[in-house]
Structures are given as structure tokens and as C-alpha cells.
Amino acid sequence: GQQLNQSPQSMFIQEGEDVSMNCTSSSIFNTWLWYKQDPGEGPVLLIALYKAGELTSNGRLTAQFGITRKDSFLNISASIPSDVGIYFCAGADLTGRNYGQNFVFGPGTRLSVLP
Amino acid sequence: NAGVTQTPKFQVLKTGQSMTLQCAQDMNHEYMSWYRQDPGMGLRLIHYSVGAGITDQGEVPNGYNVSRSTTEDFPLRLLSAAPSQTSVYFCASSYRGGKLFFGSGTQLSVL
């Protein structure tokens, strides 16, 4: 099946630093989603992007839908300890009735924040 | 709203046993799905449903059955558990694509 690549796989940063991570695909998507997963919990939606070039913010988080439609980026500004977790990207081609089978998830970026 | 509710939270099975993972949502979402999450891999789709009475296979359907008799419920059945089915299982729902909402997961171990 399709695969998404996320980089970096993991990162350790100091509290207060900014964070950047990205997600790339060999396929074109018309929707990009970013999720955060805390230990023992399900992924929680952070940001949804629907248009190439779109830049959307959610508090200290900003995500962008790449112009090529094959990538997306997530930035976190001024990191805090509760930002710790795994961040997943998902690409989707939401056309037709069978949209359900078209979500593809990346393997995740594990973020650790050092006090 | 409770959102997406999954039970049980943890389960240990012996090889060959069967069981059902429960999933319910109270958001009147048409779309529901089951994913499995394994270390170092993204979430992989097992089965999904676009409405009551309609189900279809995802990327990794073998060894699992689903049914959708109501809009709210979407149980996942393991017919004869195998060690390869040791994983964390997530149920998710969506109104009409786009924003998937996940349950808190079921951690399953098959010995």
C-alpha cells in the first residue's frame, strides 16, 4: 500500500524551542491531517488542511499543505512539556463515496521536551 | 458527548480464542473504521463502514470480521486469535471524511 515518510523519527528539544517536522508521500493527496498521540490514548486531531499552499494555525501549532500536494509540515513554537508525544500525519484522497479507505498514516515523529 | 468509546481497554487471549472489540460513537457519524497500530508503523486500516449495513475491507482485513447494524456501533471480531494479531486497536469515526475522531484504543495480547 501507500506509505508516508515522516522526519525526523524522533527529536529531543529544550523547553521553549521551536519544532519542525515534515511528512512526505509519493502520491498526491487532497487532504492532510496532523494528529498527536499521548501514551495509552488515541490520536487527537490537531490540524486539518484541504488546499495546496494552505497555512493553518491552532494555538502554537502551524501546519502547511505543500504546494506539490505530496508533503506537509508541522511547526510547534515555544515548546512546553505537555507537547511530548507522537505526532502523526495522514494523507487522504477524499473523493467519491469510498473515502474511508483512502487515509494513509505516517509512522510518527516522537517528540521529547527537556525541561 | 462521549465521542468514540472502545471496550475493553486491555485484553489477553490465547491462540485460537475468539473475541469482540466493541466500538460506539454518539456523534451520528456515517463513517466508522478500525485500525491497528504496531511499533514503528503507521495506523493500518482493517475494515471500515460508510453507513449502517455497509462494510468493506481495508489494508489488513484477514482474521477480522465486522458488522454495522446501527449507526452507533461497529464491533470488530477476531475469529481465531493469532500472535500476529497482538497490537493496539483503534476505532475511529467521521461525519463524511476529513476529520477522523479516534477512541482511546484496546491493547490486545495474543499468547
Distance from CA of B5 to the nearest CA of A (A): 11
DSSP per residue over chain B, as a string? Answer: ---EEEE-SEEEE-TT--EEEEEEESS--SEEEEEEE-TTS--EEEEEEEETTEEEE-SS-TTEEE--SSSSB--EEESS--GGG-EEEEEEEESSSS--EE---EEEEE-
The string of pLDDT tens digits covering residues B13-52 is: 999 999 999 999 999 999 999 999 998 778 999 999 988 9
The string of pLDDT tens digits covering residues A27-53 is: 899 899 999 999 889 999 999 999 999
**Gap between the Cα atoms of B43 and A43, Å rounded:** 10
**Gap between the Cα atoms of B91 and A33, Å rounded:** 17
For B39, the closest chain A residue by CA position comes to A107
Residues of B in contact with A100 (CB under 8 A): 31, 33, 45, 48-50, 56, 58, 94, 97
Distance from CA of A36 to the nearest CA of B (A): 11
* Residues B104 and B98 sit within 8 Å (Cβ to Cβ): no
Nearest to B48 among A90, A101, A106 (CB): A101
| Interchain CB contacts (distance < 8 Å): A and B | 74
For B94, the closest chain A residue by CA position comes to A100
pLDDT given for residue A87 in this prediction: 97
* Residues B49 and B74 sit within 8 Å (Cβ to Cβ): yes
pLDDT given for residue A101 in this prediction: 54
Q: Do B33 and A106 touch (CB under 8 A)?
A: no
